[in-house]
């Protein structure tokens, strides 16, 4: 969900097979009421206004349990769960790159490091540990995202006349980007897995929040000035989580 300043925390999970578990609760200064979004692979995001009590959130979730279960079940029929597998090839459409991944084990290592040479990414160290490999791949993704997104964001800021103070790159689990009240634009490195037009739209969207920290008519008019096809792009972006590889573990 573009354009929302957020604070992420993991909702307590329940081990019962039928239980609603693994929620992400996001506090938003723009939210006027609580809402729930279920993502294709089953991740559930609860958006709440600031200073909403935990008890109120739990009651809201309990009230919508059946809807959440039914929605998850419907998605499960359309999106077959992907088995976890470390990648040997990573396609990054947003920047037009396809990168091969080579794993080089070291018996004495306790960590995993990465080094890119041309179109090959070398992971070395304790590569038998998938968790360490994924962490290294995410660090690499963040670096690639900053390298390519920073100049594009700067260029679009000059074109639109909308300013920002700094760029933050992270792996948000349910948010493509945000623009904070202090002028920080945060972008998700998973945007690298999407088409260039979606990345550009997201950056324009966040830049326009410099003038309008909401989703009012004035905000959308500002977006439209620089991206006339924003409606289609916004809908496509909302459903683009399905294009993120399973190994990233976003949802």
pLDDT in tens, 80-108: 666 778 999 999 999 999 999 999 999 88
Helix, strand or coil, per DSSP, at residue 109: coil
So what's the pLDDT on residue 238? 87
> Taking the CB of residue 222, how many other CB atoms lie within 10 A of it?
21
Is-contact 171 161, C-beta < 8 A? no
Residue 8 confidence (pLDDT) above 70: no
Helix intervals (H) in 2-117: 54-63, 65-78
End-to-end CA distance of the chain: 14
Phi/psi zone of residue 117: left (φ > 0), alpha (ψ -120 to 50 degrees), beta?
Answer: beta
Residue that has been written with the tokens 């008890």 in this structure = 55
Looking at residue 72, its pLDDT comes to 81
Q: Is the pTM of this model over 0.85?
A: no
Residue 150 has pLDDT above 60, yes or no: yes
Supply the CATH classification number for the domain 89-248: 3.30.2010.10
Which residues are CB-neighbours of 85 under 8 A, at least 6 positions away? Answer: 246, 247
Tokens representing residue 248 in the block = 């990233």
Residue-level pLDDT at 228: 96
Residues 184-198 as b/e (b if ≥16 CB within 10 A, e otherwise) read ebbbbbbbbbbbeeb
pLDDT > 90? residue 173: no
Q: How many CA atoms lie within 13 A of 70 on its CB side?
A: 4
3-state helix, strand, coil in the chain (%, to 5): 40, 25, 35
Report the candidate in 86, 90, 172 with the shortest Cα–Cα distance to residue 131. 86
Average pLDDT over residues 216-236: 96
Instruction: Give 27-68 pLDDT, tens digit per residue.
Output: 888 788 999 888 766 778 888 998 899 899 889 988 998 998
For residue 112, the tally of other CB atoms under 10 A from its CB is: 25
Residue 41: what pLDDT?
67
**CA dihedral for 161, 165, 167, 171, sign (positive or negative):** negative
Cα angle value 106/86/170 (rounded, 5°): 100
Higher pLDDT, 39 or 168: 168
To which H or E segment does residue 124 belong?
strand 120-125
More confident residue, 199 or 2: 199
Domain locations along the chain:
6-78, 89-248
Answer positive or negative: Cα dihedral of 77, 82, 83, 84: negative
């Amino acid at each position: 969900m573009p354009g929302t300043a957020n604070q992420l925390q993991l909702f307590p999970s329940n081990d019962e097979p039928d239980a609603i578990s693994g929620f992400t609760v996001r506090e938003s200064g723009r939210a006027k009421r609580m809402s729930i979004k279920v993502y294709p692979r089953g991740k559930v995001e609860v958006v709440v206004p600031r200073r909403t009590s935990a008890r109120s959130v739990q009651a809201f979730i309990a009230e919508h349990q059946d809807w959440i279960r039914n929605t998850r079940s419907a998605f499960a029929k359309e999106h077959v769960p992907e088995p976890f597998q470390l990648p040997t090839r990573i396609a990054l459409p947003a920047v037009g790159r396809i990168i091969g991944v080579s794993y080089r084990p070291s018996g004495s290592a306790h960590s995993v490091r990465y080094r890119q040479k041309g179109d090959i990414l070398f992971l070395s160290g304790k590569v038998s540990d998938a968790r360490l490999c994924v962490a290294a791949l995410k660090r690499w993704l963040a670096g690639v995202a900053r390298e390519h997104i920073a100049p594009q964001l700067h260029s679009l800021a000059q074109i639109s006349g909308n300013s920002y103070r700094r760029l933050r790159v992270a792996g948000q689990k349910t948010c493509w980007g945000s623009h904070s009240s202090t002028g920080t634009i945060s972008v998700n490195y998973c945007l690298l897995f999407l088409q260039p037009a979606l990345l550009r739209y997201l950056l324009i969207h966040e830049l326009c929040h410099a003038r309008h920290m909401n989703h009012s008519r004035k905000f959308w008019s500002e977006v439209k000035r620089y991206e006339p096809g924003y409606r289609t792009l916004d809908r496509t972006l909302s459903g683009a989580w399905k294009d993120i590889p399973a190994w990233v573990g976003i949802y």
